[in-house]
Amino acid sequence: MKVTLAGFNIDKNLIDKLPTGTIATPETISAAYARISRDPRDVDKLREESLLQVKKARKSNQAIVFGMSHHSVAEHAYFNFDILQISRLALEELEARRIGAAYTEKSQRYITLKGDFVVPSEFSEADVVKFKELVELQNKFYENNLGKLTKYQFENNPELAEDAAISKNKGTSDKMNRAQNTLEGWAKEDARYALSLATQAQLGMSFNARTLEHAIRILRHSKLAECRELSQKLFNVTKNVAPSLIILTDPNEFKKAFKTELQDDYFELTKSHLEKYVADLSEKYLAKSVEKLPIILESEHEKLIQSENVDLDIAVAILHHNSKLSVEDAYRLASFILAKKKGKDFFAKCLKHISAFDSVPREFEFCGNLKFEIVVSSSNFAQLKRHRLMTILAQDYDPNLGITIPASIKAIGAEKELVEICQKSEKLYFEFLSKYGKVAEYCLTNAHRRRVLIASNPRELYHLSRLREDEHAQWDIKETAARMLNLAKKIAPHSFIFSGGKNEFEKIKRLK
């Protein structure tokens, strides 16, 4: 066996120091690997040739990746991005990409926040003033209560507090004092529930070229100007590095290469088309719909949904994801549509903007064995969205679903203050909603909730359980994961006998 390091991500500052005329691009790796299936030479020889003939490598990529539709070749090229001064709301759209993507964020759980936030460019001058007043109020809650919440955590976790004091007395720095950092982290993660979705974040992000191309295309047509700006900036910094691998992001280059116009209707029109189509169907048929619901088991905010009809399930996902319907109403409407033999017409209309270069919507993944509707806070969703191999279809934030209030905030007597802040946030949200649509969500907080549909196979649900039911998990998602697994066990008690947090695994195993 021969193992060779073919290439790796290196810092852009080092690339800039290469001799003048050197073309540093991951396209050569993709081109070499694309030839493996048809060229008898050893792969290291193919790489050498690609490196010396970049222009030829780029032409080869265009032919193989786009001409022959072997898009997976683009996955061999990876890009790293530093992204700063982006809002939490925009981050949710960016991080919707699951495959070929890696993200490491500045954490609101571990870092004390400074109150920085993004001001949406869509707001008028008068509304910017209102918005800034609201965010300052939200930030003030964080600043005023962080100390109280920290004191609460030290008082209510005496063993950890003692460990922190012992470490401090031994001369351990604050940075290395694990017990102290844990207690302070718990306080920070609860104080953040008052913060706006406009709060600034930063992250390191890695995309392969296929994922990058998809992100640029879909963000280009976002309802948020911030995301549209992000799309353009991602394109600008990569267009000259690997043009052959992201050609679907550039209408001019696409036309040059393939002598035809780039069809971007799917990305530009599908979401708005589906939202209008679903709204029309709801108004026309929902009152007439038949009672044909699957098995639905409920806990506090979670519902486990069991059905074996693939067409019905996908129709439900389309109706739910593109509206604010409950899952019950989505099933009623979908059942009515299929019962009236309108299924073919329904799917044809839903896919009207798709082209040969597009995948069907993610709603088509919603036919797994275990399906949930859950209601979660923004803070909870920020962690839930990391489980990218599950199908996660989130509705827009809905203040009518209430807010999530950490027990610690209640314990220090700050519940009323948080509720008042959230009420003011909602007031401005509803004022802005008719003017700005989804952009109004910047006014909401980490405490505000949204409905989410999740489809998960048992293996991924086990992963959720092992990570999020662990003793180190944040309490909000920990409670959600526990309730989801309890519902799953009612359907498949034998399959989930070893589910639970990793700290409990040995104990769980011994008891079986």
Helix (H) or strand (E) run with residue 254 in it: helix 251-258
Q: Smallest Cα–Cα separation from 336: which of 291, 366, 367, 306?
A: 291
Pick the CATH number of 266-400+447-511 from 3.30.70.3180, 3.40.50.800, 3.30.420.40, 3.30.950.10: 3.30.70.3180
SS (H, E, C) 329-361: HHHHHHHHHHHCCCHHHHHHHHCCCCCCCCCCC
| Structure tokens, 413 | 């007597």
Distance CA 18, CA 418 (A): 54
Question: Each residue's pLDDT tens digit in the chain (512 positions)?
Answer: 665 667 677 888 888 888 888 888 888 888 888 888 778 888 888 888 888 888 888 888 888 877 666 777 888 888 888 989 999 999 999 999 888 998 888 877 667 788 889 999 999 999 999 999 999 999 999 999 999 999 999 999 999 999 999 999 999 999 899 999 999 999 999 999 999 999 999 888 889 988 999 999 999 999 999 999 999 999 998 888 888 888 888 888 888 877 888 888 889 999 999 999 999 999 998 887 766 677 677 788 888 877 778 788 888 989 999 999 999 999 999 999 988 888 888 988 998 888 767 778 888 888 767 899 999 999 999 999 988 889 999 999 999 999 999 999 999 999 999 999 999 999 999 999 999 999 999 999 999 999 999 998 878 888 899 889 988 899 999 999 999 999 988 877 767 877 888 888 778 777 75
pLDDT for position 453:
95
Cβ 468 vs Cβ 477: under 8 Å: yes
Residue with tokens 């008042």: 420
pLDDT tens for residues 487-504?
988 877 767 877 888 888
Distance CA 201, CA 492 (A): 40
pLDDT for position 360:
80
Please name every residue paired with 373 in a beta bridge, in sequence order, or none if there are none: 303, 453
Cβ 429 vs Cβ 444: under 8 Å: yes
Cβ 196 vs Cβ 439: under 8 Å: no
Distance CA 200, CA 387 (A): 22
| Structure tokens, 138 | 């939200």
Residue 326 backbone class (left: φ over 0; alpha: ψ -120 to 50; beta: rest): beta
pLDDT for position 386:
85
Degrees to nearest 5, angle at CA 372 with 371 and 377: 150
Angle between helices 43-52 and 27-35 (to 10 degrees): 140
Q: What are phi and psi of 13, to 5 degrees?
A: -60, -30
Give ranges for CATH 3.30.70.3180 in the chain: 266-400+447-511
Which amino acid makes up residue 451?
A: R
pLDDT for position 292:
65
- Can you say whether the dihedral through the CA atoms of 272, 118, 390, 356 is positive or negative? positive
pLDDT tens for residues 312-332?
888 898 999 999 999 999 999
| Structure tokens, 48 | 């050498």
